[in-house]
Every structure is written in C-alpha cells, then in structure tokens.
Chain A
Amino acid sequence: DAKTTQPPSMDCAEGRAANLPCNHSTISGNEYVYWYRQIHSQGPQYIIHGLKNNETNEMASLIITEDRKSSTLILPHATLRDTAVYYCIVRVAGTGANNLFFGTGTRLTVIP
C-alpha cells in the first residue's frame, strides 16, 4: 500500500470548516483513499473513502485531486467533539481491516 504524508497538527475554530490535507504521490490506480479518526483513548473510527471522485457523507467531504496524488478531508462545521487524530490511508478496496498503515496522522484541535 502507498504511504501518505500529513501535517502533524492543525487548529480550527469551532463552527469553521476544517480542511485536512494528505499527500499520496505514489498511489496506484486501484488504491482508494480512506480517512479514519481516533478520538483520545478510543479506537479508530471510519470517516469516508474515495477513488477519484469527490465524496460526501454525513460526517465529511473528501476532495481528491485529478492526478490523485493528494486529497483533502473537509469537516464543514467543526465542533469540539471533532478534536482527534485524523489518519489518511491509501489501500486497495475490499481488504477490510487487513494491514492498514496508519502513520502518525494529523492532530486536529478545535478551539472554542
């Protein structure tokens, strides 16, 4: 699976959009971009995934560049409960929980 690069930390004001970037320049054609987050002392939680089209669900939006070498996770109206470490992972779809490479992620702090 391709490796990713994320900034170690970011701050966001409560109620504003949080934009979390991820670089994955070595992504392969059959690899998807997945985002998970981990709130302190809890297990990681799935947020969203995509291949090349932009995706949106009830939690977030995922914007993938046309060359697929980078992506941005958008939390449209950040709340204090969104403070967490966010992990960007690229992998082939359909392999479930097998051998996910988390890296160190981005620690997002939402400020009141």
Chain B
Amino acid sequence: DAGVTQSPTHLIKTRGQQVTLRCSPKSGHDTVSWYQQALGQGPQFIFQYYEEEERQRGNFPDRFSGHQFPNYSSELNVNALLLGDSALYLCASSLVRGFTEAFFGQGTRLTVV
C-alpha cells in the first residue's frame, strides 16, 4: 500500500516564476493538506482540500493556490515566487470523517534563486 507520494523531490526556480507541486494521497484517503516548512521551523499549514474544494486556509497569501482532482490527488501552485518561498513543502492525507492520523509525504524541497 503506497503512502503519500510527492513530486518532484527537489526543484529550483527563479524569483518571479510559478511552480506546481503534486501529491497523491495514501490509498483510501480523501483529504489532502499542504504545509510549508522553512529551515529550522516546524511545518505551517497552508490549506486543506476535500471534495475538490478548499475547506480551510492558513495565513498564506493568495499567491498560494491549489486544486484537488476527482481521484483525490492534489496540486499546490505558487505564483510570483519570492526568495522567502524557499522551503520544504509537505503534503498530508487523511480521512475527513472518523479518526485517522495524518500521513505525510517526504516533501518537495523548493529553492528560489
């Protein structure tokens, strides 16, 4: 049973560019959440998707957007990249109902130069 998979693992972008990160949730999970982890900090919640809609959002600007597909996979898009967007981006999946712990992917390391 595959866990949460993210692609790509590493990415280098130039300031001002746009980037798309991808996540496939654990089999059977229907909810995907995205987190940003700056160096030396704990992960920070960006937003959560369920039934192809954004359900809750953390304190991130609207340069950060997302999408969830009918197969529950998800994308995170970041426009107009800033140097401060350099971070590890983590995807977590869970079930919206009932208790399940969150399963995290290995993350995508984004470097903005």
What is the CB-to-nearest-CB distance from A80 to chain B, in angstroms, rounded to a whole number?
20
Mark out the residues of chain B between 44 and 97 whose CB falls within 8 Å of any chain A CB in the assembled complex: 44-45, 48, 55-56, 58, 90, 92-97
Residues of B within 8 A of A99 (CB): 33, 45, 48, 56, 58
Chain A residue numbers with a CB within 8 Å of B32 are 97
Interface 1/0 per residue, A24-54 and B, CB below 8 Å: 0000000000101000011111100100000
- CB <8 Å contact, B90 and A43: yes
Neighbouring B residues of A44 by C-beta, 8 Å: 43, 90, 92, 102, 104
Given A44-B90, A96-B31, A97-B48 in contact, is the A102-B43 Cβ separation under 8 Å? yes
Residues of B within 8 A of A98 (CB): 31, 33, 45, 48, 55-56, 94
| Minimum CB–CB distance for B105 against chain A, Å | 5
Q: Which among A41, A46, A103, A104 is the interface contact of B101 at CB below 8 angstroms?
A: A46
Interface SS majority for chain A? loop
Contacts of B96 in A (CB 8 A): 96
Task: Tell me how far the C-beta of A43 lies from the nearest C-beta in chain B, rounded to whole angstroms.
Answer: 3
Which of chain B's residues has its CB closest to A102's CB?
B42
**Interface size grouping (class) on chain A:** 20 to 34
Q: Which B residues are in CB contact (< 8 Å) with A93? A: 99
Check if B21 is an interface residue, CB within 8 A of chain A.
Answer: no
* A98 vs B100: C-alpha distance when bound (angstroms): 11
How far apart are A25's CB and chain B's nearest CB, in angstroms? 19
Whether A104 and B48, one on each chain, are in contact in the complex, defined by CB atoms closer than 8 angstroms, is no
Q: What are 10 A-B pairs with beta-carbon distances under 8 A?
A: A34-B101, A43-B90, A43-B104, A43-B106, A93-B99, A94-B97, A96-B31, A100-B35, A100-B43, A104-B42
Having A46-B101, A97-B94, A104-B40, one finds 14 other A-B pairs with CB under 8 Å, namely A43-B4, A43-B104, A44-B102, A44-B104, A94-B97, A94-B98, A96-B94, A97-B31, A97-B93, A98-B55, A98-B94, A99-B48, A100-B45, A104-B42
Interface of A with B (CB < 8 Å)?
34, 36, 41-46, 49, 85, 87, 93-94, 96-105
